[in-house]
Structure 1
Amino acid sequence: MSALRTVTRTASRKSTLYNAVRAYSTKESTLKERFAELLPEKQAQVKELKAKYGKTVIGEVLLEQAYGGMRGIKGLVWEGSVLDPLEGIRFRGRTIPDIQKELPKAEGGEQPLPEALFWLLLTGEVPTAAQTKAFSEELAARSKLPKHVEEIIDRSPATLHPMAQFSIAVTALESESQFAKAYAAGVNKKEYWKYTYEDSIELLAKLPVIAARIYRNVFKDGKIAAVDTSLDYSANFANMLGYGSNPEFLELMRLYLSIHSDHEGGNVSAHTTHLVGSALSSPFLSLAAGLNGLAGPLHGRANQEVLEWLKAMQSELKGDISKENIEKYLWNTLNSGRVVPGYGHAVLRKTDPRYTAQREFALKHMPDYDLFKLVSNIYEVAPKVLTEHGKTKNPWPNVDSHSGVLLQYYGFTEESFYTVLFGVSRAFGVLPQLIIDRGLGMPIERPKSFSTEKYKQLVETSNYNSDTQTPSQMSLNPQQQTSLASLLASAASQQAQQNPAGQNLQAASLVGNPNMQSPSQIYNHMASNLAASGASAGNYTALSTSNSSTGSSTYQSLLLSSPQTSVASLYSTQRARFMSSKGFDFEDDMEFCPEIVHTGKSKFNPYTSQTFSPNTSPEAAAHAQTSPLSPGTQGVQSLYSRFAQATPGTPSGSSPRPSTPRTKKVLEIVNPHTGMKISQGNVSAVK
Structure 2
Amino acid sequence: MKEFEYADIANEVKELAQICKKNSKIDPELYSKYEVKRGLRDISGKAVLTGLTEISEIVSYTIVDSDLVPCEGKLYYQGVNVQDLVNGFIAEKRFGFEETVYLLLFGELPNKEQLENLNALLVKYREELPTSFVRDIIMKAPSRDMMNTLARSVLTLYSYDEKADDTSVENVLRQCLQLISLFPLLSVYGYQAYSHYHDGNSLFIHSPQPELSTAENILHILRPDSKFTHLEATILDLALVLHAEHGGGNNSTFTTHVVTSSGTDTYSAIAASLGSLKGPRHGGANIKVVKMFDDMKETIKDWEDEEAVREYLVDLLNKRRFDKAGLIYGMGHAVYSISDPRAEIFKGFVKNLSVEKGLEKEYALYNMVERLAPEVIAKERKIYKGVSANVDFYSGFVYRMLDLPIELYTPIFAIARIAGWSAHRIEEIINDGKIIRPGYKCVAKHKKYKTMEDRVAEEGNEDIRLA
Map of 1:170 onto structure 2? 154
CA 1:235–1:320: 2 relative to 1, 3 Å: closer
Q: Which amino acid aligns with 2:376?
A: V
1:69 aligns with 2:39: yes
Q: Which amino acid aligns with 2:84?
A: D
- Please identify which structure carries the higher helix content: 2
Matches within 5 A, 1:139-288: 139-143=122-126, 144-147=128-131, 149-150=133-134, 151-158=136-143, 160-177=144-161, 179-182=163-166, 192-219=168-195, 221-242=202-223, 244-288=227-271
Q: Would the aligned equivalents of 2:147 and 2:411 in 1 still touch at CA under 8 Å?
A: yes
Report the secondary structure of 1:452's partner residue: coil
User: Among residues 301, 315, 320, which one is paired with 2:284 in the alignment?
Assistant: 301
Q: Deviations over 1:397-451 (max 9, x none)?
A: 1111110111111222x21220011111110111012122222223322223321
1:354 CA displacement:
1.1
1:98 aligns with 2:68: no
Q: Deviations over 1:517-547 (max 9, x none)?
A: xxxxxxxxxxxxxxxxxxxxxxxxxxxxxxx
Q: Distance in 1 between matches of 2:32 and 2:59?
A: 21
Report the secondary structure of 1:339's partner residue: coil
Matches within 5 A, 1:324-343: 324-336=307-319, 338-343=326-331
Q: Distance in 2 between matches of 1:157 and 1:433?
A: 30
CA 1:62–1:84: 2 relative to 1, 3 Å: farther
Q: TM-score, normalised by structure 2?
A: 0.76
1:106 CA displacement:
10
Q: Please, what is the CA RMSD of the aligned residues? A: 2.3
Map of 1:374 onto structure 2? 365
CA 1:235–1:129: 2 relative to 1, 3 Å: farther
Q: Distance in 2 between matches of 1:357 and 1:177?
A: 39
Q: Deviations over 1:254-297 (max 9, x none)?
A: 10111011111111111112211112222221111101111111
Map of 2:296 onto structure 1? 313
1:122 aligns with 2:105: yes
Q: Deviations over 1:220-258 (max 9, x none)?
A: 533222122222222222211225532122111210111
CA 1:176–1:445: 2 relative to 1, 3 Å: farther
1:344 aligns with 2:332: yes
Q: Distance in 1 between matches of 2:87 and 2:416?
A: 20
Q: Distance in 2 between matches of 1:115 and 1:390?
A: 42
Q: Distance in 1 between matches of 2:34 and 2:396?
A: 34
Detail structure 1 runs of 4+ shifted over 4 Å in the superposition.
Answer: 61-65, 104-107
Report the secondary structure of 2:38's partner residue: coil
Q: Which amino acid aligns with 1:97?
A: Q
Q: Distance in 2 between matches of 1:402 and 1:350?
A: 17
Report the secondary structure of 1:230's partner residue: coil
Q: Which amino acid aligns with 2:328?
A: V
Q: Distance in 2 between matches of 1:346 and 1:376?
A: 22
Q: Which amino acid aligns with 1:214?
A: G
1:126 CA displacement:
0.9
Q: TM-score, normalised by structure 1?
A: 0.53
Gapped runs of 5+ residues in structure 1? Answer: 1-60, 184-191, 455-687
Map of 1:84 onto structure 2? 59
Q: Which amino acid aligns with 2:214?
A: Y
1:453 CA displacement:
4.9
Q: Which amino acid aligns with 2:129?
A: L
CA 1:430–1:90: 2 relative to 1, 3 Å: same
Map of 1:478 onto structure 2? none
Q: Distance in 1 between matches of 2:209 and 2:142?
A: 28
Percent of aligned positions that are identical: 25
Q: Which amino acid aligns with 1:326?
A: V
Matches within 5 A, 1:341-490: 341-367=329-355, 368-392=359-383, 393-412=385-404, 414-453=405-444
CA 1:378–1:107: 2 relative to 1, 3 Å: same
Q: Distance in 1 between matches of 2:415 and 2:396?
A: 16
Q: Distance in 2 between matches of 1:66 and 1:105?
A: 45
Q: Deviations over 1:128-170 (max 9, x none)?
A: 2332122112101111323553211101235x31111111111
1:137 aligns with 2:128: no
Q: Which has the higher contact order (CA 8 A, sep 6+)?
A: 2
Q: Would the aligned equivalents of 1:196 and 1:283 in 2 still touch at CA under 8 Å?
A: yes
CA 1:401–1:250: 2 relative to 1, 3 Å: same
Map of 1:599 onto structure 2? none
Q: Would the aligned equivalents of 1:81 and 1:263 in 2 still touch at CA under 8 Å?
A: yes
Q: Deviations over 1:498-531 (max 9, x none)?
A: xxxxxxxxxxxxxxxxxxxxxxxxxxxxxxxxxx
1:99 CA displacement:
1.1
Q: Distance in 1 between matches of 2:148 and 2:76?
A: 31
Gapped runs of 5+ residues in structure 2? Answer: 1-30, 42-46, 61-70, 196-200, 320-324, 446-467
1:349 CA displacement:
0.9
Q: Deviations over 1:365-397 (max 9, x none)?
A: 324533211101111211111111233333211
Q: Deviations over 1:179-205 (max 9, x none)?
A: 53446xxxxxxxx11111111111111
Map of 1:609 onto structure 2? none
Q: Distance in 1 between matches of 2:102 and 2:409?
A: 25
Map of 1:472 onto structure 2? none
Q: Distance in 1 between matches of 2:329 and 2:153?
A: 31
1:327 CA displacement:
0.8
Q: Which amino acid aligns with 2:211?
A: S
Q: Rg larger in 1 or in 2?
A: 1
1:70 CA displacement:
1.0
CA 1:362–1:452: 2 relative to 1, 3 Å: same
Q: Which amino acid aligns with 1:344?
A: G
